[in-house]
Structure 1
């Protein structure tokens, strides 16, 4: 920033700050700021304007750090990006208005406006890049966490495993399901795998295609697949779409699926106490 412009801004600091605070109060009506108390909003505004003047005092080469820290804190608190960008735009407008009221010929020149514009634009770009990087990192970490929790293959009995599916299934997640399914079948030496779609809100042609592919892959590694959690509305959707799920067994509940899996592995559930009640799994060959 031009030395004269910098000194002029700092000389008019009090006037610029007061008018900027008045103007930025209009942002308060935004829906994204409604949950912020008046005290916090006012204190944040004053800290924001102090950071801007601090950046001007320190010079452009040192401006990143104080605003970086301030912006990072607002990101963590959930403040919207447009609060910062609009605040910078308002700072530019107020600064130009107040300095243009002085008698200085330079403050009426094109160079003056360009100098202010360039400084504000650099600040906006820096903040946008910081917000973008922070959100990209957050999204990446969330994706990694979801992958760790998504579609686990759980051994429930010897040679019987369950894969509960929850949420929407897209192409990327279907690939992860396939990998976990095949790795789990080998690791747990599963003979029967139950794919539970109770928590899948919508089963369309694409989702059914991925499930069919998964069942075929399980068959190729020497295991059998049972699809469980077929709700009435899901069954109706499958029929209406003409999806063929006849290649592998389907059950309405996980309990029925486990009973079928036990039968497929030559075991059954029998009662062991008619008085107290209870069940035990026994090999049907014994």
Structure 2
């Protein structure tokens, strides 16, 4: 296939990327470096990085995103391992994957409303715990960071599960059998063979979950009830309520650069020797 044919086939995709991704980014960058009179300035970035209020919101957003990533990794790895290792029937495995990705078929608003019902003072969790006598008063699971993390873990878990499952499915079962023949216990086999081989899936899943968590708006806004400010809600307020497009664009572009640095670090780690050795 000639280069002209390849370019012709890729042209529609390239145009879509330029129109839907690259041009909006150029607009955001342009807004972030211009003042009210159209002159180039870095004042919007300086205002953001020198303001303790916005920096505290940024650190809170990073903290929640990291906690979401770690919890999703723990839960997602367990589900992915169980699905790939203990469900041998192909039909049941297909059903399991459908259940895993089913949350992606519904709107984030609907899912968030569902968690508001579950986590509320009169929700399913508190009613059950109160009925069993485990607690004497309702737990505060909503309109705080805890509620945000629970909602984000539920929504983003499929990305982690699928990333790890893909790697686990491609691991040669003979490697684990050989480790067992050499006298390794199941736990040692997992730690020395299976876990290192799944590092690429862990890194890819973690980057996706972290990037989506730090940029999430609907779920944090609904589950926090506006009581917990995150960086995405600040950007929305600056753009849609205050109409300060320049400052909002500066914050948005700063978050974008931070996300790109995380992705670049992930790309670097995937090429390091210890990951390559794990693959081999």
Q: Which has the higher helix share?
A: 2
Q: Which has the higher contact order (CA 8 A, sep 6+)?
A: 2
TM-score under structure 1 length normalisation: 0.27
Q: Which has the higher strand share?
A: 1
Answer with 1 or 2: which has the greater Rg: 1
